[in-house]
Amino acid sequence: MKKSVVKALIGAGVVATSMLVLAGCTTKSATNKGNTAGDTVKIGVNMELSGAVAGYGEQEKQGVELAIKQINANGGVKVGKDKKKLKAVYRDNKSSTGGAAAVAAQLANNEKVVAIVGPATTNNGTASIPNVTKAAVPMVGPSATDPNFTLQKNGKVQPYVFRACFTDTFQGQKAAIFANDTLKAKNVAIIADNSTDYGTGLTKAFKKKFAGKVAVTEYYQSGDKDFNAMLTNIKNKKIDAIYTPGYYSELGLLIKQARQSGIKVPIIGADGMADPKLAQIAGNENATDVYYTTPFSTLGTNRSSLVKTFMANYQKQYKAEAPTFSALAYDSVYMIKQAIEDQKSADSASIAKGLAKIKNMPGVTGTTSIDSKHNPEKPIAVEQLTQGKITKAYTVK
Amino acid sequence: MQTMMQQMINGLSLGSIYALLALGYTMVYGIIKLINFAHGDIYMLGAFWGYYAINYLHFGFVGALLSAMVMASLSGVLIEYLAYRPLRNSPRIAALITAIGVSFFLENGMSFLFGANARNFPQVITTKTYYFFGVGISNVQLLILFTSLVLMVLLQFIIKQTTMGKAMRAVAVDPQAAQLVGINPDHVISFTFALGSALAGAAGVMIGLYYNSIDPLMGMVPGIKAFVAAVVGGIGSVPGAAVGGFLIGLLETGVQAIGLSAYKDAAVYLVLILMLVVLPAGLFGKRQREKV
């Protein structure tokens, strides 16, 4: 009995592998015209649903689900004169570059999707580029923040690659300006996640722009839980702020341990911190004097009716506060919808053209225009946490 | 001086967790010569059980700790029964690969069932920090150190003083000979898995409480570091695993204390390589003489 199960599993594995191989073959023979839409507009979702960064993938999948549900509830997307429903095809890339490339080929060639949302991370996104480019299917990375993600090696823009989030350079510089001008910090410590491009990219941009002195730079890896040693180290240095480029799962712990060891200085991070889980992990009593740059401010004054509806619907569907990753994925779907409606066509090549021309599209992460490098231009905010609650939002010029 | 003392405390509380995990590795290896790579994931299961026991069954810390130890033991025994026992007479490499498979199964199975997001662990004990001469130590850190030491002493007692412990030692030396004198190796091996997994379950709950964050992949890195600790101490040796755990904790903290935080994991793995090259039997391991 046990053996037969094992055999069945092995069999399934063999079939899956050969399918991947076949998918790889079709990529080569695909013509360059791209995919056309049928009665429904199929959107592929190439997402990290298992593996190391599945936490972000799951949240983005929820954002996509919510967007598709809402668009369909309103009758669908307008293609020329008709209204067509959207349909999402979800595929797990297992948080691996190989998986992401295979999923991209599958979605573009077998599923014939007209656009792809995802992957969540820059590395997996970059691995998907050759296959989507060959198939002429545009791809919107909700959270691929590396500045070079949308660019080819020679500096030209990738014709089929777009993103919905800020680049690391932009966000890191804004955090430095905020630390200089608003917090008046002279000496900062940086504690960075050096196992992601996100952490190292932000660190580089921050260091370049910050006018004061970076007294000490410490590094950790994604998944680390103990920061006491580095915190004991920086405690004795005279610093007025800590910059922490990384994600909430580690930074929640870092904030908790910093406050418990008596480090009271402001802690500034990036949008990887913009998640209600940050304060839950840190403990509300510790999440005070914490700031982060974010495109998506949930605070009253910055909240448009669009954001309100999104927050309410998300709460209803998933019984939780909407995280930034969901908001970015939600906007990625709306960017594709906007492109289809502007171009009056749901063919993949037209969508790519439409995405490049998006101007002033209202989104939950801010009014978005796509620039010549396929990066979104939208206002950036800095949110402040006090006792685990967002109490103030600053705008940074 | 104060900073150094503080770093010692940091290192010891980190090390006690590695030590608890390393004990499980070393016991299983001592008996069936299998490196149970799923051990780190049993620690994760213990943490998740603690999470549900406190949140939904409203257990206190002690209740959660003890029930997590029981649940972890059961899962350890079950894993041994389903995955390793059918391979008892296969080559060791087959069992090793199965262990890696079980580890992936537990990690991704839990992500599938409960979601891959990190969740905050219910704080049944409010953290208080005490200061002695400017060196801070929290009640949770003290609790971890104390519980770890009690469990280690208890384990040493079981192995050295009880009949079952004697049987374990006998099977470790020579399974066939043990069988000849009336010991059922299957029972002894199940008992070893239960014991090792109980320690991992306890470590899971304590880590959940200390760091306040658990996720299905939380066992991966500590599992590997505990494995290094077991090798440093001499794999198969129980006191060696305990000492190895504390040494790795102190090493990791020490590397960060001198400002090389980017290399703290590299330092641990470097020690693994050096140990394997220079002293493959570990600090407390027995040197095996090859009979010619």
Chain B positions touching A2 (Cβ under 8 A) are: 82, 86
Q: Range with the lowest mean pLDDT among A108-117, A330-339, B273-282?
A: B273-282
Please report the residues numbered 102 through 161 in chain A whose beta carbons come closer than 8 angstroms to any beta carbon of chain B. Answer: none
Going by DSSP bridges, is the β-strand pair A86-92/A41-47 parallel, antiparallel, or unpaired? parallel
pLDDT in tens, chain B (292 residues): 778 888 888 888 889 889 988 988 888 888 888 888 899 999 999 999 999 999 898 888 889 999 999 999 999 999 999 999 888 888 888 989 999 999 999 988 888 888 777 788 888 888 788 888 778 788 888 888 888 888 888 888 888 899 988 898 888 888 888 889 988 888 998 999 999 999 999 999 988 888 888 888 888 888 889 999 998 988 878 888 899 999 999 999 889 888 888 888 899 999 999 988 988 888 887 655 555 5
| B215 touching A (Cβ < 8 Å) | yes
| Chain A residue with minimum CA distance to B5 | A232
A178 and A149 assigned to the same domain: no
A180 and A234 assigned to the same domain: yes
Chain B positions touching A388 (Cβ under 8 A) are: none
Nearest by CB: B120 against A50, A218, A280:
A280
* pLDDT for residue A6 is more than 70: no
* Domain residue ranges in chain B: 2-278
Question: Strand, helix or coil at B214?
Answer: strand
Of A272, A294, A316, which residue is a domain's last?
A294
Put simply, the answer to whether B82 touches A58 (Cβ < 8 Å) is no
* pLDDT for residue A230 is more than 50: yes
Secondary structure of chain A in the HEC alphabet?
Answer: CHHHHHHHHHHHHHHHHHHHHHHHHHHHHCCCCCCCCCCCEEEEEEECCCCCCHHHHHHHHHHHHHHHHHHHHCCCEEECCEEECEEEEEEECCCCHHHHHHHHHHHHHHCCCCEEECCCCHHHHHHHHHHHHHHCCCEEECCCCCHHHHECCCCCECCCEEECCCCHHHHHHHHHHHHHHCCCCCEEEEEEECCCHHHHHHHHHHHHHCCCEEEEEEEECCCCCCCHHHHHHHHCCCCCEEEECCCHHHHHHHHHHHHHCCCCCCEEECHHHCCHHHHHHHCCCCCCCEEEEECCCCCHHHCCHHHHHHHHHHHHHHCCCCCHHHHHHHHHHHHHHHHHHHHCCCCHHHHHHHHHCCCCECCCCCCEEECCCCCEECCCEEEEEECCEEEEEEECC
Put simply, the answer to whether A260 touches B111 (Cβ < 8 Å) is no
The H or E element containing residue B132 is strand B129-132
pLDDT of residue A25: 45
* pLDDT for residue A13 is more than 70: no
A277 and A209 assigned to the same domain: yes
For residues A27 and A32, what is the distance between their CA atoms, to the nearest angstrom?
10
Asked whether residue A302 is assigned to any structural domain, the reply reads no
A150 and A50 assigned to the same domain: yes
Indicate the number of domains in chain A.
2
A48 and A82 assigned to the same domain: yes
Asked whether residue A385 is assigned to any structural domain, the reply reads no
| A232 touching B (Cβ < 8 Å) | yes
A186 and A270 assigned to the same domain: yes
Of A294, A321, A354, which residue is a domain's last?
A294
Question: Tens of pLDDT along A56-84?
Answer: 898 999 999 999 999 999 999 998 888 99
Q: Domain of A86: which CATH number?
A: 3.40.50.2300
A264 and A187 assigned to the same domain: yes
| Chain B residue with minimum CA distance to A57 | B116
Nearest by CB: A55 against B117, B127, B256:
B117
A186 and A218 assigned to the same domain: yes
Nearest by CB: B129 against A219, A260, A283:
A260
Asked whether residue A156 is assigned to any structural domain, the reply reads yes
Please report the residues numbered 189 through 208 in chain B whose beta carbons come closer than 8 angstroms to any beta carbon of chain A. Answer: 207
| A226 touching B (Cβ < 8 Å) | yes
Q: Backbone phi, then psi, for B225, in 5-degree steps?
A: -65, -35
A129 and A244 assigned to the same domain: no
Q: By residue range, what is the domain housing residue A331?
A: 17-24+33-166+308-377
CB B97 within 8 A of CB B105: no
CATH number of B2-278: 1.10.3470
A92 and A42 assigned to the same domain: yes
Chain A positions touching B102 (Cβ under 8 A) are: none
Put simply, the answer to whether B207 touches A225 (Cβ < 8 Å) is yes
Put simply, the answer to whether A232 touches B212 (Cβ < 8 Å) is no
Please report the residues numbered 25 through 84 in chain A whose beta carbons come closer than 8 angstroms to any beta carbon of chain B. Answer: 50-52, 54-55, 57-59
Chain A positions touching B136 (Cβ under 8 A) are: 261-262
Please give the angle made by the CA atoms of B201, B205 and B207, to the nearest 5 degrees.
110
Asked whether residue A192 is assigned to any structural domain, the reply reads yes
| B262 touching A (Cβ < 8 Å) | yes
Asked whether residue A257 is assigned to any structural domain, the reply reads yes
Question: Tens of pLDDT along A345-364?
Answer: 999 999 999 999 999 998 88
Nearest by CB: B256 against A54, A225, A229:
A229
| Residue B136 token pair | 């801070």
- ipTM field: 0.74
A50 and A113 assigned to the same domain: yes
Chain A positions touching B82 (Cβ under 8 A) are: 2
